[in-house]
Amino acid sequence: MGAQWKAKHKDLAANAKGRLFGKLAKDIMIAARHGADPAANARLRLVVEQARKVSMPKDTLDRAIKKGAGLTGEAVHFEHVIYEGFAPHRVPVMVECLTDNVNRAASDMRVLFRKGQLGTSGSVSWDFDHVGIIEAEPAAAGADAEVAAIEAGAQDFEPADEEGITVFLTDPTDLDLVSRALPSQGFTVLSSKLGYKPKNPIDPASLSAEALEEVEAFLAALDDNEDVQNVFAGLGG
């Protein structure tokens, strides 16, 4: 499942779109702190492009930019919190939250992890590498991911998935540098963020169908929470 867990065949029904828009709005507000003009703010430009690809309403997008840039007079304050623990069947999980209410987020995590095990700081993170994660797609036929990774300075890459998206992995300090270099290697960058990659991923084939379904349901419940921004699970592709 790569460096970031994503629900398979996740529908884009109204409620699912609403959750996705909410997560993107937070990313947009945080990026807009460094300037409201996407042309002069690379991080904001990437998130805006993501939002447009999933058809976020222009009013919603513009409001998030203005709010994040402090142009509406509203105070925007999100705290970044990481929770560590295990999904059912001892699958390690890192949960990244952006929340305006830490107490609510902590309470929700305790409830959600009842079907797994909530750990303390460091209990799971030792089994993950902190990396830059870039999702990109070929801009033209013949673009070679391996050559692009070498030339752009990425540490590694994961072959294209069924949607044609290649994941490039970087040192955290090289994320922006590699993101800016990939277009010249024939790849269009779709998203760029810091995240966590499991060092010893569990092969899903080693789990029974029922066990895997329990893990998927647990991860999906985490991902549905309003404060959860990203879920990183110790599962192989």
Q: 139: how many CB neighbours lie within 10 A of its CB? A: 13
Domain presence at residue 32: yes
Give bridge partners of residue 91 from the DSSP assignment: 87
Cα angle 62, 67, 72 (rounded to 5 degrees) comes to 105
Tens digit of each residue's pLDDT (9 = 90 or more) over 101-140? 999 999 999 999 999 999 999 999 999 999 999 999 999 8
Tens digit of each residue's pLDDT (9 = 90 or more) over 94-106? 999 999 999 999 9
Domain presence at residue 193: no
Domain presence at residue 213: no
> For the domain that residue 31 is a member of, what is the CATH number?
1.10.10.200
- Domain count for the chain, please give it: 1
**To the nearest whole number, what is the mean pLDDT of the chain?**
89
Smallest Cα–Cα separation from 61: which of 31, 13, 24?
24
Domain presence at residue 61: yes
Q: Read out DSSP for 156-182? A: EEE---TTS-EEEEE-GGGHHHHHHHG
DSSP conformational letter for 207: S
Tell me the residue ranges of DSSP E strands in 71-223: 79-87, 91-99, 117-118, 128-138, 156-158, 166-170, 187-198
What pTM does this model have? 0.84
Domain presence at residue 60: yes
Distance from C-alpha of 113 to C-alpha of 19, rounded to nearest angstrom? 20
Specify the residue for token string 């402090």.
70
| Helix or strand (DSSP H, E) at 224 | helix 209-224
Which domain range does residue 36 map to?
14-68
Domain presence at residue 56: yes
| pLDDT given for residue 140 in this prediction | 80
| Helix or strand (DSSP H, E) at 229 | strand 228-233
Domain presence at residue 195: no
Query: Would you place residue 181 in the very low, low, confident or very high pLDDT band (cuts 50, 70, 90)?
Result: very high
| pLDDT given for residue 217 in this prediction | 94
Q: 129: how many CB neighbours lie within 10 A of its CB? A: 15
Mean pLDDT, residues 155-171: 91
94-123 b/e with 16+ CB inside 10 Å = b?
A: bbbbbbeeeeebeebbeebbeebbbbeeee
Kindly tell me if the per-residue pLDDT of 6 is higher than 80: no
Contact call for residues 97 and 203 (beta carbons, < 8 A) = no
Tens digit of each residue's pLDDT (9 = 90 or more) over 17-44? 788 889 999 999 999 988 999 889 888 9
Domain presence at residue 222: no
Alpha helices, H only, 54-115: 58-68, 102-112
Distance from C-alpha of 170 to C-alpha of 180, rounded to nearest angstrom? 12
